[in-house]
Amino acid sequence: MSQFATEARIEGGRLELFNIPFADATEVKVFVIPKVELSKMSFLEARKLTGSIKGNLADSIRRERDER
């Protein structure tokens, strides 16, 4: 399964994406994660923001690297 990440901005409650490398009418899932600078936050604040993400991100990243 292909994955694609990009940065965008929500304006007027709308999110528009351009130049996404998928064919027209492709069904996709979209995850919206507010961009924050975790390095400027305390550990507890960063943990609160990332705590609701399901699964183990480190394992997911490791798996993805192994696939490449």
pLDDT digits (tens, 9 = 90+) for 25-54: 999 888 888 887 767 767 777 677 777 776
Q: In this structure, is residue 44 part of a structural domain?
A: yes
Does this model's pTM top 0.75? My answer is no
Map the chain to HEC letters.
Answer: CCCCCCCCCEECCEECCCCCCCCCCCCCCCCCCCCCCHHHCCHHHHHHHHCCCCCCHHHHHHHHHHHC
Q: For residue 41, give its domain range.
A: 10-67
In a domain, 3, yes or no: no
Number of domains the chain is built from:
1
The answer to whether residue 49 is domain-embedded is yes
What per-residue confidence (pLDDT) applies to 11?
92
Residue 1 inside a domain? The answer is no
Q: Would 20 be classed as within a structural domain? A: yes
Specify if 40 maps to a domain. Answer: yes
> Does the residue 54 lie in any domain?
yes
